[in-house]
Amino acid sequence: MNDSGAHLDRPQASRFALLFIFITMFVDTIGLGIIIPVIPKIIAELTGHGLPQAEALSEAARYGGWLFFVYAAMQFLCAPLIGNLSDRFGRRPVLILSLAALGIDYLLTGLAPTIVWLFVARLLSGGAGAAYPTVNAYIADVSPPEKRAANFGLTGAAFGLGFIVGPAIGGTLGEYGSRLPFFVAAGLALANALFGLIVLKESLPKDSRRSFELRRANPFGAFKSLGRFPSLVGIFGVMVLIRLAHDANPSVWTYYTMLKFHWSTRQVGYSLMAVGALTAIVYGFLSRIIIPRIGEERAVYVGLGCGAIGFTGYALSTYGWMIFAWIVPWSFMGLAIPSLNAIMSKLVGPTEQGELQGALACLSSLTSIVAPPILTNLFSYFTGTAAPVYFPGAAFLASGAILVLAAFAFARTRHVPVASTAE
């Protein structure tokens, strides 16, 4: 096993380390994708005793939203803490412990006898998932400045590929039992941790480390930077609305398709694989062609309009095959966020780009905390016995309406003169 004090000092070793990071992110995302198609089934098993299947799934969605809430809240609270720990003790131990914690989370979920165990597991995995910024810090440590942007793209590529493969595997495994995918995901995460323990070298030399200070590990510090961009307040609001609508997919998709179309875990997995593949095509390929041709502002409107159409199509679909058809327009929602980022980057100075991205990450984290409970409770209410009208697509229709509201909000921000900080 490598000495944790040893660090990378050769280009070949750096390339090997980047390969490890790519494999780690890829395998880790496969593990995450494996469990998504079966989460509703295991929650329904633990909470829906004696209820018909439809009512059990409706109630499971409510719990699922709060499980998302716990996970996102732990990520928000722990990210700066873990980042500062990696500055003090090095990247290697933080990454290995994070992978091990994820493996334990999946194992606890697979063994869970009560719903309380799932909340404990989500607390653990949320804290472990907060180590993702440490991955970027590792890449920065081992990459020369001129190659950092390309190397940072490795994490996005690994995440996209993993999320295409993971749900398909999880959906297939789920046919043989709702707990089997969790044990497979646990094995992948723990094997990944062991792999890192054996081959990964430390990227941060001891003479470059700094003492741990609690004031730096403040998750609310990024809020202070929001006040530095008064000209972007309206666009920040648009970004929040987009994130709020987008989170309908990860939080409601599985419950909706299982309840309305009686999909198996395999069908859910294939549908999520299609979502991941088309999203990757729009983000990684089509956005580079479309946005320069039509301009950033028009691309925002096209993205929001396509997203609203896709969500409305999901909500009103009467046959399962229609969901796959509506994924196509929905995926073009991927034009909006890159365009908004480009617009905002032109309104701030070159020395404020990092601070802007930090503020956006903060807003994204907070929205991911709030959105799942709202959307899953909306789904649960309109599929429950007390609903004034039975409408499983309520959360998707609400997301479509939110994107229309975002388009109007964006139009308003573009008609209000703003002073460019860059000027």
What value does the mean pLDDT take over residues 295-312? 95
Is the CB of residue 76 less than 8 Å from the CB of residue 153?
A: no
Q: What are phi and psi of 177, to 5 degrees?
A: 140, 140
What pLDDT is attached to residue 421?
Answer: 40
Distance CA 380, CA 374 (A): 10
| Local structure of residue 205 (DSSP, 8 states) | -
Q: What are phi and psi of 316, to 5 degrees?
A: -100, 0
355: CB partners within 8 A, 6+ apart? 225, 228
Question: Residue 33: what residue type?
Answer: G
Beta bridge partners of 202: 7
Six-digit token string for 137: 């810090």
Residue 336 exposed, middle or buried by CB count within 10 Å (0-12, 13-18, 19+):
buried
Look up the CATH number of domain 221-417: 1.20.1250.20
Distance CA 294, CA 289 (A): 9
CATH 1.20.1250.20 in the chain, residue ranges: 1-208+215-219, 221-417
Q: Note the maximum CA span of the chain.
A: 66
Q: How far is CA 61 from CA 163, 314, 374, 379, in A?
A: 22, 17, 11, 7
State the average pLDDT for the chain: 80
**CA end-to-end span of the chain:** 53
Q: Where does the pLDDT of residue 389 fall: very low under 50, low under 70, confident under 90, or very high at 90 and above?
A: very high
What value does the mean pLDDT take over residues 343-368? 68
Which helix (DSSP H) or strand (DSSP E) does residue 328 occupy? Answer: helix 320-331
Beta bridge partners of 266: none
Which CATH fold topology does 1-208+215-219 show? Growth Hormone; Chain: A; (1.20.1250)
Which of 143-152, 259-268, 324-333 shows the lowest per-residue confidence on average (mean pLDDT)?
143-152
Distance CA 90, CA 32 (A): 25
Tell me how crowded residue 80 is: count the other CB atoms within 10 A of its CB: 18
What value does the mean pLDDT take over residues 356-380? 80
Cα Rg of the chain, angstroms = 22
Distance CA 239, CA 303 (A): 12
387: CB partners within 8 A, 6+ apart? 381
Q: Where does the pLDDT of residue 211 fall: very low under 50, low under 70, confident under 90, or very high at 90 and above?
A: low
Is the CB of residue 241 less than 8 Å from the CB of residue 374?
A: no
Q: Where does the pLDDT of residue 18 fall: very low under 50, low under 70, confident under 90, or very high at 90 and above?
A: confident
pLDDT at 304 exceeding the cut of 70: yes
Distance CA 335, CA 283 (A): 7
Is the CB of residue 16 less than 8 Å from the CB of residue 134?
A: no
Is the CB of residue 181 less than 8 Å from the CB of residue 173?
A: yes
What pLDDT is attached to residue 419?
Answer: 42
pLDDT at 80 exceeding the cut of 90: no
Distance CA 164, CA 150 (A): 21
Distance CA 333, CA 242 (A): 9
Q: What are phi and psi of 202, to 5 degrees?
A: -70, 135
What value does the mean pLDDT take over residues 26-55? 78
